[in-house]
Amino acid sequence: MLPAVIWGHWGLFYTSARHSVRMSSTRVDWKGMLANRVAVVTGSTSGIGFSVARRLAQDGAHVVISSRKQQNVDRAVGELRGEGLSVTGTVCHVEKTEDRERLVAKALEHCGAVDFLVCNAAVNPLVGSTLGTSEQIWDKILSVNLKSPALLLSQLLPYMEKRRGAVILVSSIAAYIPKVELGVYNISKTALLGLTRTLALELAPKDIRVNCLVPGMIKTDFSKVLHANEAFWNSFSEHHQLQRIGKPEDCAGIVSFLCSPDASYITGENIVVAGFSSRL
Ligand SMILES: NC(=O)c1ccc[n+]([C@@H]2O[C@H](COP(=O)([O-])OP(=O)(O)OC[C@H]3O[C@@H](n4cnc5c(N)ncnc54)[C@H](O)[C@@H]3O)[C@@H](O)[C@H]2O)c1
């Protein structure tokens, strides 16, 4: 029973506690923690978004998968359904109004309401210096990474009210430790910290919590251009206290926790999942 006690009183120990429960012979069934809840995850056909979608569904939520290509949506939905999870999916390029409308409609098919929104989609970071960036690239990065989460939330909000739900924005350690190679991406991810706080204030009266996941270097296709670059990795890994690169699963449990009732008094926070603390 110890893991359950740990979970109840110190929610942040949830991931390891849950893991130990799964590994033990006396299994405690955690499924159902997010039962009867509906989650929308953008950019969820690969990497961190896919891992988050899988974990929310494992914890009982019905999850709506989305990203830009139908074939990727079909593959992700097929894989998770094959694991017995409750998921649906649709194409949603987060910049496109009509795609966001389609995503909202798909999410409402399950029970007419939505509980959780995880804004994970973002455009590839490597653009170089801020002052050398064209106006077109500025617009693209700010549109996908910053504006689209707010616009999607405003479209979903009427269906999230009275559900005591949660929003998770996905920033980056680049917001805390900017790297010159990442230019405008650093800025878009820093602005998400401000969006988190502003939305937390705006939505508190509706009992909707808004928090921010701040991943460090996580091994995905998105970050390959960075972690496969020896010079970049050597300079970045100087920060690391845990001597490894992160896995998408390292981010998934914390998102599930932030959606769960055990996080019901947490809002406006940034949670760094980076293998180090920028404060140490
Ligand atoms: N991997 C890392 O090291 C790292 C570090 C810090 C932050 N992040 C953040 O984590 C999030 C996920 O990144 P990842 O590493 O899992 O990348 P990934 O490339 O594995 O996944 C990104 C997903 O977003 C989708 N996507 C991209 N642009 C989109 C758009 N316009 N509309 C809809 N979907 C779109 C892709 O199809 C893909 O499914 C991003 O917000 C990224 O900024 C990643």
Quote the pLDDT of residue 240.
77
222 lines ligand 1 (CB under 6 A): yes
Q: Please check whether residues 8 and 44 belong to one and the same domain.
A: no
Q: 37-70 burial, b if ≥16 CB within 10 A, otherwise e?
A: bbbbbbbbbbbbbbbbbbbbbbbbbbbbbbbbee
Quote the pLDDT of residue 27.
41
Q: Please check whether residues 137 and 82 belong to one and the same domain.
A: yes
Q: Please check whether residues 46 and 2 belong to one and the same domain.
A: no
Quote the pLDDT of residue 31.
61
Q: Please check whether residues 76 and 5 belong to one and the same domain.
A: no
Q: 198-232 burial, b if ≥16 CB within 10 A, otherwise e?
A: ebbeebeeeebbbbbbbbbbbbbebbeebbeeeeb
Long-range contacts of 77-84 (CB under 8 A, 24+ apart): 80/53, 80/54, 83/54
Q: Of 14, 176, 185, 265, which residue is the catalytic one?
A: 185
CB atoms within 10 A of CB 176: 20
Quote the pLDDT of residue 223.
87
Starting at the earlier edge strand, list the strands of the sheet with 38-41. Answer: 87-91, 62-67, 38-41, 116-119, 166-170, 209-215, 270-273
Is 70 domain-assigned?
yes
Query: Which structural domain range is residue 17 located in?
Result: 1-30
Does the annotation count 185 as an active-site position?
Answer: yes
Is 279 domain-assigned?
no
Q: Please check whether residues 53 and 83 belong to one and the same domain.
A: yes
Whole-number Å distance between alpha carbons of 65 and 207: 25
Residue nearest to atom 7 of ligand 1 (CA): 172
Count the domains in the chain. Answer: 2
Q: Please check whether residues 236 and 253 belong to one and the same domain.
A: yes
pTM score of the predicted model: 0.90
Is 230 domain-assigned?
yes
Task: Give helix 14-23 / helix 2-9 axis angle, nearest 10°.
Answer: 160
SS3 167: strand
Is 196 domain-assigned?
yes
Q: Please check whether residues 168 and 207 belong to one and the same domain.
A: yes
Q: Please check whether residues 58 and 82 belong to one and the same domain.
A: yes
Helix, strand, coil in percent for the chain, rounding step 5: 50, 15, 35
Is 278 domain-assigned?
no
Q: Please check whether residues 13 and 137 belong to one and the same domain.
A: no
Q: Please check whether residues 200 and 111 belong to one and the same domain.
A: yes
Q: Which of 127, 190, 222, 276 to mutate to test the pocket of ligand 1 (most atoms within 8 A of CB)?
A: 222
In the predicted model, residues of the chain with pLDDT beneath 70 are: 1-31, 125
Is 217 domain-assigned?
yes
Q: What is the ipTM of this complex?
A: 0.98
Is 173 domain-assigned?
yes
Q: Which two tokens stand for residue 230?
A: 């020896």
| Domain at 105, CATH number | 3.40.50.720
Is 280 domain-assigned?
no
Q: Please check whether residues 138 and 26 belong to one and the same domain.
A: no
CA dist list (Å): 197 to 188, 192, 248, 267: 15, 9, 25, 8
Q: Which of 169, 220, 273 to mutate to test the pocket of ligand 1 (most atoms within 8 A of CB)?
A: 220
74 lines ligand 1 (CB under 6 A): no
CB atoms within 10 A of CB 245: 17
Q: Please check whether residues 241 and 128 belong to one and the same domain.
A: yes
Quote the pLDDT of residue 202.
98
